[in-house]
A and B are shown apart, each in its own frame.
Chain A
Amino acid sequence: MTIKLGVPSKGRLMEKTFDWFGARGVTLTRTGSDREYAGAVDGVEGVDLVLLSAGEIPRELAAGRIHLGVTGNDLIQEKLVQWDQKVEPLAPLGFGHANLIVAVPQCWVDVDTLDDLDGAAAAFRARHGFRMRIATKYHRLVRDYLRRGGVADYQLVDSQGATEGTVKNLTAEAIADITSTGETLRANHLKILDEPPVLESQATLFRSRVAAKSDQDRLVLRALIDRLGV
């Protein structure tokens, strides 16, 4: 057995993760061709690198197929029921910052708070005969947030990409999505509600609470965690 470390398999998230580990004396590298998802770990013995889509890392941690994993806490909290019983956050990595927010058209000058959103939703339903549609892929987090905020008369519609375009395309009235700078929102004539975000997210190193470990694995994990200083 070895300790399995899951990290995002491509893009800036992968590069920044490699940098973060590298700065702590653990060198992660992709091996083989550019297209092959294989990797190596140097600087500590007994650790395997597993390259995965960031969206699959929560599931792999919860299933215990990887011992450590790097992903956003937005994905952990959306995808895992009672996430804190399945994984433990070891360290925020200081990049991949993004907020999960609710945004409405800029032209809705009368809507700035959840209280307004609820009022507008009631009137919208009475006028149009269906519940106000909010496009998102974060169904659980957003539903929880809106319930706590006392918003009624809305419905979530699934949007797995280009969510900011749904309002203009008349498939939703508002959206809930991840944003870091808000630029895409502005370009699509949307504004963020003047409320605390649904969630503040960043890339985080998580430990699986359920992955099986031999005594040897425990030592390796201890050594890795010591080396990383987390």
Chain B
Amino acid sequence: MLQGQPDKSRARRAAEIICDGFVADGAARFETDILLPAEVLLDLYGEDIRARAYVTSDPERGEMMLRPDFTVPVVQYHMAGDGLPASYTYFGEVFRKQEDHPDRRSEYMQVGYEAFGGADAAVADADVFGRFSDVLAPLGLRAATGDIGILIAMVAGLRTTEDRRTALMRHIWRPGRFTALVKRFAGLTPVPAARASLLALDAPLPDSSVMIGLRSEREISTRIDALRADAAQAPMSAEDVDLISAVLAVSETCPNALEHLRDIAVDLPGLLPALDRFEARCEAMAKRGVDVDALPFEASYGRTSMEYYDGFVFGFYSESRPDLPPVATGGRYDALTRRLGQGREIPAVGGVIRPDLVRDLGGLA
């Protein structure tokens, strides 16, 4: 079933009202181009973004992309400035291919709010979540929250080799691959035959006469050395595998989740600093009037998003319309400012609301 053409002027009006509200609270209006250079976005998000964003080409500027979101341009804008704390709000069209959901809109409006440089991360997280929660309150949405920072701390705290932790860290956002790696490192899946026979050879390097391509013999031998070193290591312990499963399975209200994770941290003390941040955020949220005791927390939430969130993550969903994508999403993305900041980094947290869905659900009035 097609949703029909978006009623753009109504969505735009809803966007303006939300945006004006953020401006009244002190945010600066931000605007940017619709046609963005593709290179930065491709480098950041990889091939996945090609499946989701419209790439086109300009004879002079090369590959260009129809704006898939505002986050990258707003981060670039802020990082190019004086670096003082600031908050921004914006609204405008974004474009996403919907190959898996052709019934969903591929061109729609987003209203955003992004806060840079908040010295107290817990307060900044609570403030952004609180703002979104206040704006969306008339719709009676279900909130979901998570914290990628806890997953990063979990991986960093595993008692295994640095290479294994690095490999797991790389795949936090790809749950299937992450689980496969955990099983491999724990010796729960058999070593592939080709790998076993490679490692059994004394001198597995290829005959230099058939070397082709950019990947050099040196790179190949470096990887073989790494595979050998890994094969010589003890498998990751069953306890660590259980701890990973236990963390990923946490899904309850914030206070209960915190208590549960603190129990797990007895055996995985590396979690503690991240849990202290979680606790501070809960307190800051309560102070800001959020009903934290009833707020859900899912440790795995946000893992499949394409975005660069590396801390607090949240989303708002319509329970009466489970067919709709989330009405709002957001989170903390300190790492993104590091990637785009050419040596500098600034703590950043923000989110976006879809005014078209707000309209579909009856509006905020």
In Å, the complex CA distance between A146 and B204 comes to: 27
Are A128 and B214 neighbours in the complex by a CB distance under 8 Å?
yes
How many residues on chain B are close to A (CB under 8 Å)? 38
The verdict on A115 contacting chain B, using a C-beta distance below 8 Å, is yes
Are B210 and A107 neighbours in the complex by a CB distance under 8 Å?
yes
Q: Which residue of A lies closest to B178 (CB)?
A: A150
With A123-B222, A152-B46 already in contact, the answer to whether A106 and B210 are too (CB < 8 A) is yes
Are A116 and B195 neighbours in the complex by a CB distance under 8 Å?
yes
In Å, the complex CA distance between A82 and B97 comes to: 13
Chain B, residues 242-258, CB within 8 Å of chain A (1/0): the string is: 00000000000000000
- Find chain A residues with CB under 8 A from B215 CB: 105, 108, 120, 124, 173
In Å, the complex CA distance between A128 and B213 comes to: 13
How many residues on chain A are close to B (CB under 8 Å)? 42
With A107-B220, A123-B219 already in contact, the answer to whether A113 and B194 are too (CB < 8 A) is yes
Chain B, residues 168-210, CB within 8 Å of chain A (1/0): the string is: 0011001011001000100000001011001000001111001
- Find chain B residues with CB under 8 A from A81 CB: 99, 102
Are A120 and B46 neighbours in the complex by a CB distance under 8 Å?
no
Q: Which of A105, A109, A124, A194 contacts B224 (CB 8 A)?
A: A109
Are A150 and B176 neighbours in the complex by a CB distance under 8 Å?
yes
Are A156 and B212 neighbours in the complex by a CB distance under 8 Å?
no
The verdict on B50 contacting chain A, using a C-beta distance below 8 Å, is yes
In Å, the complex CA distance between A173 and B212 comes to: 9
In Å, the complex CA distance between A141 and B280 comes to: 45
Q: Which of B102, B207, B227 contacts A82 (CB 8 A)?
A: B102
Are A152 and B220 neighbours in the complex by a CB distance under 8 Å?
no
Chain B, residues 287-317, CB within 8 Å of chain A (1/0): the string is: 0000000000000000000000000000000
Q: Which of A105, A113, A153 contacts B46 (CB 8 A)?
A: A153
A213 to chain B, nearest CB (A): 23
Q: Which of A105, A127, A150, A170 contacts B180 (CB 8 A)?
A: A150
B166 to chain A, nearest CB (A): 8
Contacts A109-B206, A131-B47 supplied; 16 other A-B pairs, CB < 8 Å: A105-B212, A106-B206, A107-B220, A109-B204, A112-B198, A119-B167, A124-B215, A127-B219, A139-B50, A140-B99, A150-B174, A152-B46, A152-B171, A168-B213, A170-B213, A173-B215
Residues of A within 8 A of B (CB): 81-82, 105-110, 112-113, 115-116, 118-120, 122-124, 127-128, 131, 139-140, 143-144, 146-150, 152-156, 167-168, 170, 173, 188-189, 194
Residues of B within 8 A of A (CB): 42-43, 46-48, 50-51, 99, 102, 167, 170-171, 174, 176-177, 180, 184, 192, 194-195, 198, 204-207, 210-215, 217, 219-220, 222-224, 227
